[in-house]
Structure 1
Amino acid sequence: MVGKQRNYRDIFVKEQFFSDFYFFNIGHELCESRHHHGPTMREEHVVHYIVSGQGAYEVNGIKYRLEAGNFFIIKPNEMTFYQADAKDPWEYYWFGFSGTMVKELLYSNGIGSSDYVGKVEQTQGVKKLFEEIMTSNMFDDREKLINQARFLTLFSGFKLQEKTIHSSILESRKQKYSESFLLYVKNNYYREELSISEIGHSMGLNSSYLSQVIKGEIGFSPMGYLKEFRLQKASILLETTNLPITEVALAVGYKSSQTFSRAFKNQFGCSPSNFSGQRR
């Protein structure tokens, strides 16, 4: 007897352009009663998003009862089993993903090594994004950027609530704040009006917390680092150009050449005009 045909779509595509984070598989199934998968292991990460119905997901000896709005994560080389409910079988979408930054991006969504299930809080548009990817021509290179954007938007919805975020994730955030601070200084150091309050505002942080983070991450206060950065830039200008002292001072964010000269001497032990590397 021939079994009933399954109501599902399962698409695989080899990624050629992205390496840090990308999807290689996407699918949808309207499950029959008690439809199951496993026990088995996968080689890559897969997220299932439940549109309707109920079912169970089992991993590492723990069984989760899941329903519409929930998602579950299959991780590489871990034995898993999942089964649709007998009376109210689930409908779900899924995507398989890989890349060099998978662990970091899962952590950015609050998902650590012991997290396997969650709930999508903002469900509006999730199904639409899945369908847009699945009905696009995924073998047309012109669609790559659009589908990658859709995938990243989708992935951003699969996260755990703030209260479940691990300390390692919070430490990672501090590193990101520090990196953002350094980048901001690099691109704005020449502005005399640049302030720590402004930099903190750009990241949604108050200046006191930003100062605490920066001091802990790089060993300098924010103002101390800004001053150091400006003076190092000034030393390069003095070594490689014939600009007068007043213009060098302005170029690195000092309105007053006198203030600049005092800071420079305190840093390097000599005045800008006597700096050993200055061109004549």
Structure 2
Amino acid sequence: MVGEQRNYRDIFVKEQFFSDFYFFNVGHELCESSHHHGPTMREEHVIHYIVSGCGTYDVNGIKYRLGKGDFFIIKPNEMTFYQADDEKPWEYYWFGFSGSMVKELLYSNGIGLTDYVGKVEKTDGIKTLFEQIIASNMFDDREKLANQARFLTLLSRFKLQEKTIHSSILESRKQKYSQSFLLYIKNNYYREELSIREISHSMSLNSSYLSQVIKDEIGCSPMGYLKEFRLQKASILLETTDLPITEVALAVGYKSSQSFSRAFKDQFGCSPSNFSGQRS
């Protein structure tokens, strides 16, 4: 109807805190009959989520007929055109996003280079999340973390079935396991009771399998790496503090100062007391 106010919200905000993955645009529209956008190209990724009605999305010469619960993805520098149905024009929300890890995170949701449409399986709460972002003061830095959390929760809903991902895009699963192992050691090396069984259990892996992964990825056994890590930490403490050897041993996970001294000498060729950095 001529003169009727358009049911349209489109908000842009410049991101200053996040760089790996962030949204910069969010909006909502209850489209009029046959309303269209394009043909045009965007410079960033945009996902549209259809809450009612239907329409068509054209990209790379393919036309998709979409309706309630479906979503479509606009990718950078690709010509697109989308149009609401004549009789049942769609209503949709959208968010535009960018960052250094966009491609990797889309792949983690099963969205590859040739994927443009999908269906949301779990739709509850999606409209609420969009409305919460739109209603927030996005120019108030105190809202940043809450809105980033809402955005990431939203994106987790837009996924396709799991598929094989090229190794140049994502790290191999073994690399992820080895990185998790290294992080676990870094944060637990000082615990005398730390075991490979415990670490493998934290990753829901068989300990024998994890041991083989660590050998393949790092070049030594898990216990060998743990021992070397502990002794390197001990050498730093001996160089930079006045702690007695018994306390250094305890600080790096050795209950016995004798076993610590033997291991240290095997590693560095001298006893802890004769270590060049030890202060008198």
TM-score (norm 2): 0.88
Distance 1:58 1:165, change over 3 A: farther
Q: CA deviation at 1:43?
A: 0.7
Q: Deviations over 1:27-72 (max 9, x none)?
A: 1122233332222100111011111233222222233332222211
Give the aligned partner of residue 231 of structure 1. 231
Q: Percent identity?
A: 85
Question: Do the aligned residues in 2 keep the contact of 1:32 with 1:84 (CA within 8 Å)?
Answer: yes
- Structure 1: stretches of 5+ with no match in the other structure: none
Distance 1:276 1:78 in 2: 63
Distance 1:203 1:172 in 2: 15
User: Secondary structure of the residue that 1:27 maps to in structure 2?
Assistant: strand
Matched length? 279
User: Secondary structure of the residue that 1:171 maps to in structure 2?
Assistant: coil
Distance 1:207 1:262, change over 3 A: same
* Pairwise CA RMSD: 2.5
Distance 2:225 2:272 in 1: 20
Say if 2:198 is the partner of 1:192.
Answer: no
Q: Deviations over 1:239-276 (max 9, x none)?
A: 33343333222111112223223322222233333334
- Which one-letter code corresponds to 2:165 in the other structure? H
Give the aligned partner of residue 32 of structure 2. 32
- Which one-letter code corresponds to 1:142 in the other structure? R
Distance 2:46 2:140 in 1: 23
Distance 1:173 1:52 in 2: 39
TM-score (norm 1): 0.88
Question: Do the aligned residues in 2 keep the contact of 1:36 with 1:83 (CA within 8 Å)?
Answer: yes
Distance 1:121 1:33, change over 3 A: same
Distance 2:88 2:205 in 1: 47
Residues 1-280 of structure 1 correspond to what in structure 2 (within 5 A)?
2=2, 6-162=6-162, 164-168=163-167, 171-280=171-280
User: Secondary structure of the residue that 2:171 maps to in structure 1?
Assistant: helix
Question: Do the aligned residues in 2 keep the contact of 1:54 with 1:66 (CA within 8 Å)?
Answer: yes
Q: Deviations over 1:63-120 (max 9, x none)?
A: 3332222211111111112222334332211001122332232233232222222222
- Which one-letter code corresponds to 1:186 in the other structure? K
Q: CA deviation at 1:234?
A: 1.5
- Structure 2: stretches of 5+ with no match in the other structure: none
Question: Do the aligned residues in 1 keep the contact of 2:55 with 2:82 (CA within 8 Å)?
Answer: yes
